[in-house]
Amino acid sequence: MKTMQAYRFALDLTPSQERAVLAHAGAARVAHNWALARVKAVMDQRAAERSYGVADADLTPAVGWSLPALRKAWNAAKGDVAPWWAECSKEAFNTGLDALARALKNWADSRAGKRAGRPVGFPRFKSRRRTRPSVRFTTGAIRVEADRKHVMLPRLGRLKTHESTRKLTRRVDAGAARILSATVRRDGGRWYVSFTCEVQRADRVPTHPFSTVGVDVGVTHLAVLSTGELVPNPRHLDTAGRRMRRLARRMSRRVGPDRRTGQRPSNRWERARRQMTRAHARVANLRRDGLHKLTTRLARQYGTVVVEDLNVAGMLRNRRLARRIADAGFAELRRQLAYKTEWNGGRLVVADRWYPSSKTCSGCGAVKTKLALSERTYTCTTCGLVLDRDLNAARNLAALAAEVDTAGSGPVAGRGANRKTRHGGPVAAKRQPGTAPAGKAGTAPPQGRAA
């Protein structure tokens, strides 16, 4: 199967190479801000003319928002706007214009109701200090060197990597990967290069292709599997909390920037900021590494993985649990499972957001009307089943996979709770009883294989 895959490698840049990369990132920012100012000026002019009663036919002509239109306008004005444009690659300016074209399209689609999710705001100007430096190359000499320690990029030349590039080099040499673009970006105080490739992956089959596992994510345990396995929550942010608080105090005692007076930050403040940035980056890397190991193991072992469609944005409004929920990375876990199950020949079933997995008894199928978050043990009043709350939810998710077809990803009609929320609180509807007799563990066997 052909798929899009990215390979990211850390770079060890010399001071001159870092200045060159920063110059390219600055060129992208200049092109983005110039094009945004041009589009915004025309929009404000047309809005003012409409307020004066000017007919639509007599308004100032609108400017195009597509990437070709923005690129054409930039090429006509770059001599006056950026006389130094020849010092940077054309891909640097294309990076800023492409980002603006995507942002304007997302904003327009969101206003027209063509884009799902939260409303997208109008693009903003990029700041030199607050914007993360980044530049993307799509044409020119883009390759990984044969020594597996260097990469070649247009105008930047030969850059040394901090780690070996053998994973990508082997695929390129075998003809199983084709590099489409390369992005150089600074993240957490380090420079990285990411290669977007078209990869030809071999067809794989999970270790247990006919097995099903339900995954219930949480804060106490990162994941509870229907097999009974408890994946501990490492809580990397809490572990590093003491050091991060100390670094935050150190930075607050330095002379930082002040936009009102134009005060520049001191060197000691910049040093403390870099230490704080590296601490946050380490927490993010540890979290990402743990999630990758967990999702890879699940995708390679089970043929069907069932997860919930959680309202993470709504859960983050709980100020008592927001930090621990954000530290767990629920959305990232589901995102990784989505493509890893496809790579390994399995499937991912996403339970409906309103499916009462925690309120439903995995033994008899009875649904409770209310279940407080503090109740960590599920006790069924119908069949007398006593089970851990998260394990009960995971077994209900595993049993749900038997009721959806291969094309669908939601529960069968009539099994979930009432989607209409009344003033008195959520109302649950009792589903049809399960196949397991009273007193048994549930409809899903302990090994995770669905009936």
pLDDT attached to residue 249:
96
Q: pLDDT for 321-347, tens place per residue?
A: 899 999 999 999 999 999 999 999 999
Q: For residue 421, tell me if it sits in a domain.
A: no
Q: Which of 91, 98, 308, 327 is catalytic?
A: 308
Query: Which residues form the domain of 56?
Result: 24-112
Residues 163 and 106 in one domain: no
Residues 152 and 296 in one domain: no
Residues 377 and 393 in one domain: yes
- Taking residues 205-209, report their average pLDDT: 92
pLDDT attached to residue 405:
55
Q: For residue 425, tell me if it sits in a domain.
A: no
pLDDT attached to residue 443:
37
Q: Which of 98, 327, 352, 390 is catalytic?
A: 390
Q: pLDDT for 134-156, tens place per residue?
A: 999 999 899 999 999 999 999 99
Q: Are 60 and 42 in contact (CB under 8 A)?
A: yes
Q: Does residue 424 come out as left (phi exceeding 0), alpha (psi in the -120 to 50 range) or beta?
A: alpha
Long-range CB contacts (< 8 A, 24+ apart) of 310-319?
310/217, 310/334, 310/353, 311/353, 313/118
Concerning whether 308 is annotated as a catalytic residue, the answer is yes
- Taking residues 416-438, report their average pLDDT: 40
Q: Is the pLDDT of residue 257 over 50?
A: yes
The separation between CA 38 and the C-alpha centre of its own chain, rounded to angstroms, equals 31
Sign of CA dihedral 18, 23, 27, 33: positive
Residues 193 and 219 in one domain: no
Residues in a beta bridge with 144: 151
Concerning whether 342 is annotated as a catalytic residue, the answer is no
Q: Are 265 and 256 in contact (CB under 8 A)?
A: yes
Residues 174 and 227 in one domain: no
- Taking residues 230-251, report their average pLDDT: 94
Residues 357 and 217 in one domain: yes
Q: For residue 351, tell me if it sits in a domain.
A: yes
Average pLDDT, the chain: 87
Q: How far apart are CA 112 and CA 285, in angstroms?
A: 38
Q: Are 209 and 341 in contact (CB under 8 A)?
A: no
What's the length of the chain?
Answer: 451
Least confident of 62-66, 165-169, 192-196, 372-376: 372-376
pTM (two decimals):
0.82
pLDDT attached to residue 433:
39
Number of domains into which the chain is organized: 3
Q: For residue 128, tell me if it sits in a domain.
A: no
Six token digits for residue 50: 């409409």
**High-pLDDT (> 90) share of the chain, %:** 67
Nearest to 226 by CA among 172, 298, 173: 298
Residues 301 and 384 in one domain: yes
Least confident of 125-129, 187-191, 362-366: 362-366
Q: How far apart are CA 13 and CA 160, in angstroms?
A: 7
Residues 30 and 88 in one domain: yes
More confident call, 35 vs 381: 35
Q: pLDDT for 171-199, tens place per residue?
A: 999 999 999 999 999 998 899 999 999 99
- Taking residues 151-175, report their average pLDDT: 95
Six token digits for residue 298: 């699940």
Q: For residue 298, tell me if it sits in a domain.
A: yes
Instruction: State the pLDDT confidence band at 431, using cuts at 50, 70 and 90.
Output: very low
Angle at 100 (CA atoms; ends 94, 106), nearest 5 degrees? 135
Q: For residue 341, tell me if it sits in a domain.
A: yes
Q: Which of 216, 332, 352, 375 is catalytic?
A: 216
pLDDT attached to residue 406:
45
Q: For residue 272, tell me if it sits in a domain.
A: no
Distances (CA, A) of 170 to 116, 160, 166, 167: 39, 18, 6, 6
Six token digits for residue 85: 């444009």
For residue 221, the surrounding DSSP H or E stretch is: strand 221-225
Residues 222 and 174 in one domain: no
Q: How far apart are CA 189 and CA 208, in angstroms?
A: 42
Q: How far apart are CA 291 and CA 283, in angstroms?
A: 12
Residues 140 and 169 in one domain: yes
Q: How far apart are CA 306 and CA 213, in angstroms?
A: 6
CATH number at residue 358: 3.30.420
More confident call, 259 vs 138: 138
Residues 361 and 343 in one domain: yes
Backbone angles phi, psi at 28, to 5 degrees: -65, -40
Q: Is the pLDDT of residue 427 over 50?
A: no
Q: Is the pLDDT of residue 414 over 60?
A: no
Residues 7 and 155 in one domain: yes
Concerning whether 390 is annotated as a catalytic residue, the answer is yes
Q: For residue 247, tell me if it sits in a domain.
A: no
